[in-house]
Amino acid sequence: MSVLASFRDSSRAAPLLERIRARETGPVALMEFCGGHTVAIFRSGIRSVLPEHIRMLSGPGCPVCVTSNMDLDRAAALAKLPGVILTTYGDMLKVPGSRESLAQVRAQGYPVEIVYSTLDALRLAGQHPDKQIVFFAIGFETTAPAAAAAVLQARARGLKNFSICSVMKLTIPGARALLDMGEVRVQGVIGPGHVSSIIGADAWRFLPDVYRVPVAISGFEPLDILASIDALLAMLEKGNADLANLYSRIVKPGGNTKAWGAVTEVFETCASSWRGFGNIPDSGLALRPQYAEYDAEHRFPIDIPDSVEHPACRCGEVLRGVIEPVDCKVFGTACTPEQPLGPCMVSSEGSCAAYYNFHQSTHTKTRHATEQ
């Protein structure tokens, strides 16, 4: 589809930037709730070309980062059970848990397999009938349909050696929790494009309706993000809090009802523990009792020791948008992508990794801005 290339046409950026600079809003803080946006914003250098009075904040939009140490420890313990092969997405491997990462567990000789898709985990289950394939499922609404589809396929095929350890989370309770805490003032939200493709743009109407915060559902090209910033500023300029869907080439008002239907068939909401937030009611996805045979927690009950956090790691505050990565004392010194102390530095979508990889030249500017 040739039209898609136009979304990468950098000559279209200048008029958008001009519009953004001409908006008369006063100082504003806009937050994105998606790790994909965090990376796109840093990689494209959007922060450095925005006027000084527009601050971009990163919220709890990286599923790897918000996974709690307790849940990481559970995955490590599952991988050590005899006969179990733990499978998970590659992003999880290097995240430090209380005592070790899954990569370190694998280095001790326990089977931890990276999969690109739950389809690969199902294939492994077919190939190894004598092993138990446990899929450690992280992710938000975008990723949940793939986990639900795997359970439905396992049942259809009569697979008895496939189960899921779900630590999947829902973005809307997370966003509400952040706004309800009131620690950061957010005047506009860049809505997560791919989460919204599943749950629908309308799912974010609570932001303007309840919180009076405008939201722009955005795609992931730099132009998409600039247009979303402009739309938010246009609304703020006029005092008009509403929802704008700038990613209508993908996102429908009601989302993908078939995909979400699969999720709600297999999963129910549960309380979930988020790094930096603690327990948030109804923010997680757990297997329904009728799918208990595919629930790793039900099939492999294990005791895990109390989880501990690295004392110097401030990922929790980064995830709440309270501090910027550079405000953390160990950022770029004791904590680097090679030797991460916390998940925000190790995940490809983590704010700290994005700062570290793409934002070195503007550290000074950010420090200056946060000190004011």
Partner 1 sequence: MCLAVPARICELRPDNMAVVDIQGTQREISLMVLDGEAAVGDYVLIHVGYAIERIDEEEALRTLELFADLSLTDEAFGSASPPLTEDDV
238 vs 365, which CB is nearer to partner 1? 238
Q: Please tell me whether residue 118 binds partner 1 under the rule CB under 8 A.
A: yes
Please tell me whether residue 362 adopts helix, strand or coil conformation. helix
Question: Quick one: which of 45, 111, 113, 237 contacts partner 1 (CB under 8 A)?
Answer: 237
Nearest residue (CB) to partner 1, 21 versus 329: 21
Residues 313-352 contacting partner 1, CB under 8 A: 347, 349
91/324 with CB nearer partner 1:
91
| Candidate segments 29-37, 278-286, 322-330, 353-361, binder of partner 1 by CB under 8 A | 29-37
Q: Which of 53, 83, 108, 119 touches partner 1 (CB under 8 A)?
A: 119
Which residue, among 111, 103, 41, has the nearest Cα to 358 in the 3D structure? 41
Q: Does 123 bind partner 1 (CB under 8 A)?
A: no
133: part of which helix (H) or strand (E)?
strand 132-137
Q: Which of 125-142 are b and which e, b meaning 16 or more Cβ less than 10 Å from the residue's Cβ?
A: beeeeeebbbbbbbbbbb
Nearer to partner 1 by Cβ, of 123 and 367: the residue is: 123
Residues 174-213 that bind partner 1 (CB under 8 A): 192-195, 197-198, 201-202
∠ CA 364-369-372, rounded to 5°? 125
Taking the least distance from each CB to partner 1, the nearer of 15 and 305 is 15
Report CA-CA distances (Å) from 71 to 179, 245, 324: 24, 34, 25
| 336/207 Cα distance (integer angstroms) | 35
Q: Give CA–CA dist 47/51, Å, rounded.
A: 9
C-alpha dist (Å) from residue 41 to 11, 159, 246, 348 = 17, 42, 16, 13
Q: Which of 15, 129, 278, 281 contacts partner 1 by CB under 8 A? A: 15
Pick out residues in 49-88 that bind partner 1 (CB under 8 A). 62-64
Output 38 or 161, the one with its CB closest to partner 1: 38
**Residue 1 binding partner 1, by CB under 8 A:** yes
Distance CA 3, CA 365 (A): 36
Q: Per-residue x/- mask for partner 1, residues 274 to 303, rule CB under 8 A? A: ------------------------------
Site residues (CB under 8 A) for partner 1, limited to 213-232? 216, 223-224, 227, 230-231
H or E element that contains 291: none
Among 25, 31, 32, 36, binds partner 1 (CB under 8 A): 36
Q: What token pair was written down for 298?
A: 């039900």
Nearer to partner 1, 34 or 326 (CB): 34
- Out of 132, 142, 187, 273, which residue is the one contacting partner 1 (CB under 8 A)? 142
Nearer to partner 1, 146 or 341 (CB): 146
Q: Amino acid letter at 249?
A: R
Distances in whole angstroms, Cα of residue 84 to Cα of each of 130, 174, 331, 335, 364: 9, 32, 36, 32, 48
The DSSP code for 305 is: P
Scanning residues 244 to 273, which ones bind partner 1 (CB under 8 A)?
244-253, 256-259, 262
Alpha-carbon gap, residue 175 to 338, rounded angstroms: 30
Q: Which is nearer to partner 1, 134 or 201 (CB)?
A: 201
Q: What is the CA radius of gyration of the chain?
A: 21
**Do 77 and 136 contact (CB within 8 A), yes or no?**
no
Give yes or no for residue 30 binding partner 1 (CB under 8 A). Answer: no
Footprint (CB under 8 A) of partner 1, residues 147-176: 148-149, 152-153
The span from the CA of 197 to the CA of 133, in Å, is 29
